[in-house]
Amino acid sequence: MLYYLFEYLENQYQIPGASLFTYISFRAAAAVITSLLISTIFGRKIINFLRTKQIGESIRDLGLSGQNEKQGTPTMGGLIILLSTLIPVLLFAKLDNIYIILLIITLLWMGVIGFIDDYIKLSKNNKTGLRGAYKIIGQVILGVVVGATLFFHPEVTVKDQGPFTDQIQAIDNLSEYKSTETTIPFVKDNVFNYSDLITWIDPSLQSYTWIVFIFFVVLIIAAVSNGANLTDGLDGLAAGSSAIIVLTLGVFSWVSGNIIFSDYLNIMYIPRVGEITIFIGAFVGALVGFLWYNTYPAQVFMGDTGSLTIGGIIAVISIAVRKEWLIPLICGIFLIENLSVILQVFYFKYTRKKYGVGKRIFLMSPLHHHFQKKGYHESKIVTRFWIVGIVLAILSIITLKIR
């Protein structure tokens, strides 16, 4: 909203400083500061409200140290993240940008699914919450909407690259076109087209590429969203890890949406995608502000309201900047948490069928609980997971040049 206001003031009255709002960097910085202020100042009020309404976490006795102290801690704290992200985005972003629209839809849609899940757990005293099938249906619907929009919307395009002498000439000479191309890491010619998955059978099948593309979008959104949900098990783990991931994606959105940087790095230039940086700035600020209250010992838990939303947003941003094939690296923490559960369940069922007694690979899954069982303090586990996340983030960024 402020973007349009200051654009009007600049055009009509040439007010000094109004042109600052035309710069993505300024608006992204303003979004970070605003979301930090909202999450830290109003976060306390939201926590007190949740405590007053007795919206507290009911902890299952899993034999883990420190569990009893967490009993009754306010949950649904994801509301802090949602509000602290949404308000700065509405203030500073171009609201007619298709990528911003998709991210707002993702924020609200996944937030509602997570909220319903938390509400059922609390009001119905049902520890399982919303049935898993309904969560998957919600994720599939979002995936179809996002995938169809990215495939068919005329403003979701890429541009050719080439040697240019200045920015104006670069913009004028590039040809903008629809494409299902994306990028894959560590490969010199790092462009991959989803149509290649079916055209090798018959070139005439190219018209069905939209089915393949939407299928992968649905798969990615479901996987990352559930991965973030599984990671939310220790104080500060999901929020801190997600902040690192989103900040990394901010680098990709910045360079992919900038004609000079994309040309220098020889990466895909995606018009209008740079606007995502404002959303990312607000989201990072919201996560860091939430972390103020969520670090050990947590004063509030994000609940599924936050964790499902975080995963959905990370997935959509990755797909929008065409870095979805980097997700196993960028979201490595989510991946190992997911894999630890899958391997644990598979091995237990396999050994029970073969030997009559189920055996386990880990003392407990997800993986962070395994280290708890081994006697590591919760804050040490979280800090070390953050360190691993930072290393993965650095490796992800250097894929811009290492091929």
Residue 57: pLDDT above 70? Answer: no
Measured between its terminal Cα atoms, the distance across the chain in Å is 41
Cβ atoms of residues 105 and 114 within 8 Å: no
* Helical H segments across 175-331, by residue range: 196-199, 209-231, 237-256, 259-265, 276-294, 303-320, 327-330
In a domain, 322, yes or no: yes
What is the spatial distance between Cα 239 and Cα 220, in angstroms, rounded to a whole number? 20
pLDDT in tens, 306-342: 999 999 999 999 999 999 999 999 999 999 999 999 9
- pLDDT in the model for residue 23: 86
Residue at 307 is within a domain: yes
C-alpha to C-alpha distance for 366 and 342, rounded to whole angstroms: 9
3-class SS at 192?
A: strand
Share of the chain above pLDDT 70, in %: 89
d(CA 98, CA 378): 41
Total domains, the chain:
1
> CB 374: neighbour CB atoms within 10 A?
11
> CB atoms < 10 A from the CB of 86, how many?
20
In the chain, % of residues over pLDDT 90 = 62
Q: What is the pTM of this model?
A: 0.92
Q: Cα–chain-centroid distance for residue 342?
A: 21
Which of 31-45, 99-113, 197-211, 270-284 is predicted least confidently? 197-211
Rounded distance between C-alpha atoms, residue 364 and residue 370, angstroms: 5
Instruction: Tell me the pLDDT tens digit for each residue of 242-262.
Output: 999 999 999 999 999 888 888
Residue 278: inside a domain: yes
User: What's the pLDDT at 58?
Assistant: 60
Residue 6: predicted pLDDT: 66
Q: Is the pLDDT of residue 60 over 60?
A: no
State the greatest distance between any 2 C-alpha atoms of the chain, in Å, as a whole number: 80
The two three-digit tokens of residue 124, written as one number? 């119905």
- DSSP structural state of residue 50: H
CA-CA-CA-CA dihedral for 233, 247, 156, 208, to nearest 10: -40
Closest to 79 in 3D by CA, of 299, 317, 313, 286: 286
Please write the tens of the pLDDT for every residue from 72-122: 788 889 999 999 999 999 999 999 999 999 999 999 999 999 999 988 888
Q: Identify whether 392 is part of a domain.
A: yes
Q: Which domain holds residue 109?
A: 2-398
Read off φ and ψ for residue 110, nearest 5 degrees.
-70, -30
Strands 176-177, 158-159: pairing is antiparallel
Question: What crossing angle do the helices spanning 237-256 and 209-231 adopt, rounded to 10°?
Answer: 140
pLDDT in tens, 143-183: 999 999 999 999 999 986 554 444 545 454 567 888 898 98
Does residue 403 fall inside a structural domain? no
What element of type H or E holds 181? strand 181-183
User: Which residue shows structure tokens 């997600």?
Assistant: 242
Q: Could you give the angle at which helices 237-256 and 378-398 cross, rounded to 10 degrees? A: 10
Are the CB atoms for 309 and 319 separated by under 8 Å?
A: no
Q: Cα(361)–Cα(365) distance, rounded to whole angstroms? A: 9
Contact 369, 153 (CB under 8 A): no
Quickly tell me which residue has 């055209």 as its tokens: 199
Query: Which residue has tokens 């991959």?
Result: 192
